[in-house]
Amino acid sequence: MNQEYNAPVRDHYRNDEHILKVSGSETLSAAPDQATITLGVITEDEDPQKAQQANSQAIANVIASLKAAGIPEEQLKTSDYRIDPQYDYIDGKELFKNYKVQHIIQAQTTDIEKIGSIIDTAVRSGANSITSIRFSLSNPDAYYNQALSLALKNAYEKALSMARTLGISLNPVPNRVEELSETATPMLFQTSTLSKMATTPIQPGELNITASVRVEYTY
């Protein structure tokens, strides 16, 4: 999101005014407080109906286990469902192999510490595809606004330092402020869990939230 602020106090510069342009930025780190786990069941069979029935039963078991693990039904949703024929290529010829049914769901949780056990629960219940874990913040704007405020302070400190070095008198009220960018990018953790195991260790780390501005002062 790019926004620009123009001070309403003047429409043009006085002849004796000069412009000093600076930029400012700030990056804050925050631990994610929510995550979206993408997982599902893949089944294969020469008979598409059998592949579909096996998949339906397995994904029902997975969903039931996730609910039992504390994930509400409204935080579970299907993100992909497909039935595709599979082929082998032998001596340049395409030979039918079977049908593959794939049912992928997304599970959202705010219980970051239990993500590993949630994954293991899903695998024990029949999930054989764990695609990714997407960590994010439930209120990124709060962090971004704080970073934005600090970015403005950073720009002013730069302008003030330059003014002191040049021996000029800086107008502390900016004539123009341009918001350059905002960054609160969700962190993606790629994984593939296909077997039953002890609790899967998941380290969410921290997310970086960056704000940048370009500011014009007069002197």
pLDDT tens digit string along 54-100? Answer: 999 999 999 999 999 999 999 999 999 999 999 999 988 999 999 99
pTM over 0.85: no
Alpha carbons 169 and 172: distance in angstroms, whole number: 9
Going by pLDDT thresholds of 50, 70 and 90, the confidence category of residue 181 is confident
Q: Are 211 and 26 in contact (CB under 8 A)?
A: yes
Least confident interval from 38-42, 137-141, 172-176, 199-203:
199-203
Query: And the tokens for 153?
Result: 């302070």
Percent of the chain with pLDDT over 90: 79
Q: Roughly what angle, to the nearest 10 degrees, separates helices 48-68 and 115-124?
A: 140
Closest C-alpha among 28, 25, 31 to residue 203? 31
Our measurement of the distance from residue 178's CA atom to the centroid of its chain's CA atoms, rounded to an integer in Å, reads: 25
What residue has token string 């971004």?
144
pLDDT of residue 197: 45
**pLDDT of 7 higher than 70:** no
The values of phi and psi at residue 148, to 5°, are -65, -45
- All structural domains of the chain, each given as residue ranges with its CATH number in brackets, are 3-31+139-218 (3.30.110.170), 35-136 (3.30.70.2970)
pLDDT of residue 6: 47
Mean pLDDT of 11-23: 75
The single-letter DSSP state of residue 170 is P
* HSE toward the beta carbon, residue 137, CA cutoff 13 A: 18
Mean pLDDT of 204-211: 91
The count of residues in the chain is: 219
**pLDDT of 146 higher than 80:** yes
Alpha carbons 216 and 159: distance in angstroms, whole number: 9
- DSSP H or E run through 68: helix 48-68
Cα–Cα separations (whole angstroms), residue 193 to 9, 197, 201: 61, 9, 12
Mean pLDDT of 92-116: 95
Q: Is 55 left (phi over 0), alpha (psi -120 to 50) or beta?
A: alpha
Alpha carbons 181 and 26: distance in angstroms, whole number: 11
Least confident interval from 6-15, 19-28, 163-172:
6-15
- DSSP H or E run through 180: strand 176-183
More confident position, 173 or 183: 173
Mean pLDDT of 29-51: 96
Alpha carbons 86 and 65: distance in angstroms, whole number: 30
Residue 131, classed as helix, strand or coil, is: strand
